[in-house]
Amino acid sequence: MEKVIPAVERLKREEGEILLVTHHNPDGDGIGSMLALYRFLKKKGKNVRMAMKDDTPHIYDFLPDVDKIEKLPINHQFSLAVILDAAGMYRADAPVYAKEHLRIDHHIGGVFESINDYVDPYAASTTVVVGRILKAWDEECIDKEIATCLYTGLLTDTGSFKHNNVNEEAFEFAKYLTSKGVDPSRVASMVFERNRPAVIHLLNRVLGTLQMDYEGRMASLVVRREFLQSTGALEEDTEGFVNFARSIEGVEVAFIMIQKEDLKTWRVSLRGKGRINVQIIAKKFGGGGHRDAAGCRIEGDEDTVRNKLIQTIKEEIQKQTGEKITV
Ligand SMILES: [Mn+2]
């Protein structure tokens, strides 16, 4: 007996125009989920388009149908808009015009967009959730291209199967997708081994900002706008840089703060290593995410923002561990 998934029934029922969207600063999971669902819905004869606010990062430009992603906002009223891999439609960071919204995601909490939302915070990636939807609908329809998009989201959101969201289903899904024709080695080299020299020059500048606090329990990095200008790298190239701070032995919380174009807004990515829940820290600044990976935006000058974060993290480490930090 097949399990009935409300999101599947809702999509099946839709006769009008569907718009698929993902969050701004899109990652492999957001783009992979959107592309996989797009291709599947097309095969099912649905009238579907997809859009996002920002450009596709270079590392994902090999994915099928990536050239069909449009730019938000689209001045058109859709029948149904589906937000993928985001805590709510607001994360599109641009107006979306549709009679009805639907959220497919794996973030904790967030906005209830409709009764048919499919949100599972235990899923390693949103592509795992999309995979369940497609399997329940029509497994035969999952081709190599769809599987490659789904696998890309799984690979990137688990940090190459390293983060603590990796579970049995993640490996089973990877196996399943491989049986559908995915070439894991090719996907990994397309995503991780096509850096431009400018990215490595940028990394060099960013690593120079490394600061350790609280006897090495916290590490932070800064990306100033000037670094991007002098190296010719892009903001999207900073993806994964925070992991260098996180990789240091003894570090429990790491963060990177990236200066936005207005020079006063900082996009912050927080990383934990299982002990401290960084989602709680991000939430204090109006952000969100997962236990080991979360983010937020803070306004202010560099030192003020950095110190505010360091102080908040200190309080949170003390609260969550019951240990007193005296330095
Ligand atoms: Mn995700």
Between the CA of 106 and the centroid of ligand 1 the distance, in Å, is 6
Q: In this structure, are 148 and 291 located in the same domain?
A: no
Question: Ligand 1 centre and the CA of 324: distance in Å?
Answer: 34
User: Which runs of consecutive H residues, i.e. helices, occur in the chain?
Assistant: 6-13, 28-43, 126-138, 144-157, 168-179, 184-192, 197-207, 225-231, 242-246, 278-284, 302-321
- pLDDT at position 204 is 98
**216 plus 153 within the same structural domain:** no
Residue 302 domain boundaries: 197-321
Domain end residue (candidates: 172, 192, 212):
192
Same domain assignment for residues 90 and 169: yes
Q: Same structural domain for residues 168 and 316?
A: no
Ligand 1 geometric centre to CA of 88 (Å): 13
Of the residues 192, 223, 254, the one at which a domain ends: 192
Report the separation in Å between the CA atom of 107 and the middle of ligand 1, taken as the mean of its atom positions: 7
Say what the pTM is: 0.90
CATH label of the domain that carries residue 168:
3.90.1640.10
**What spacing in Å lies between the alpha carbon of 177 and ligand 1's midpoint?**
18
Q: How far is the CA of 272 from the centre of ligand 1 (A)?
A: 16
Quote the CA–CA distance of 182 and 123 in Å, as a whole number: 20
Structure tokens at 113: 């967009």
- On whether residue 326 sits in a domain, the answer given is no
pLDDT at 215: 94
- The alpha carbon of 291 and the centre of ligand 1 are apart by a number of angstroms equal to 12
Q: How far is the CA of 215 from the centre of ligand 1 (A)?
A: 32
Q: How far is the CA of 125 from the centre of ligand 1 (A)?
A: 5
- Per-10-residue mean pLDDT of the chain, 327 residues long, equals 86 98 96 98 98 96 98 98 97 98 95 98 97 98 98 96 94 98 98 96 98 97 98 94 97 98 98 95 94 95 98 96 90
327: in domain: no
Q: Are residues 66 and 181 in the same domain?
A: yes
Is 120 part of a structural domain of the chain? yes
231-248 pLDDT, tens digit per residue, is: 999 999 999 999 999 999
Cα of 15 vs centre of ligand 1, distance in Å, is 28
Final residue before a domain boundary, out of 162, 192, 222? 192
Rounded Cα distance, 28 and 24, in Å: 12
**Distances, alpha carbon 51 to alpha carbons 30, 43, 73, 202, 218, in Å:** 11, 19, 8, 29, 37
The CATH number for 284's domain is 3.10.310.30
On whether both 47 and 174 belong to a single domain, the answer is yes
Q: Which two tokens stand for residue 194?
A: 């096509």
For the segment 121-166, what is each residue's pLDDT rounded down to a tens digit? Answer: 999 999 999 999 999 999 999 999 999 999 999 999 999 999 889 9
Per-residue model confidence as pLDDT tens digits over 49-74: 999 999 999 999 999 999 999 999 99
Q: Specify whether 84 is located in the same domain as 222.
A: no
pLDDT of residue 1: 47
Is the domain of 179 the same as that of 206? no
Shared-domain flag, residues 181 and 201:
no
For residues 94 and 19, state if they share a domain.
yes
Ligand 1 mean position, distance from CA 290 (Å): 9
Residues 33 and 181 in one domain: yes
State the pLDDT at residue 326.
Answer: 87
Q: How far is the CA of 94 from the centre of ligand 1 (A)?
A: 19
Number of domains the chain contains: 2
Indicate whether 149 and 168 sit together in one domain: yes
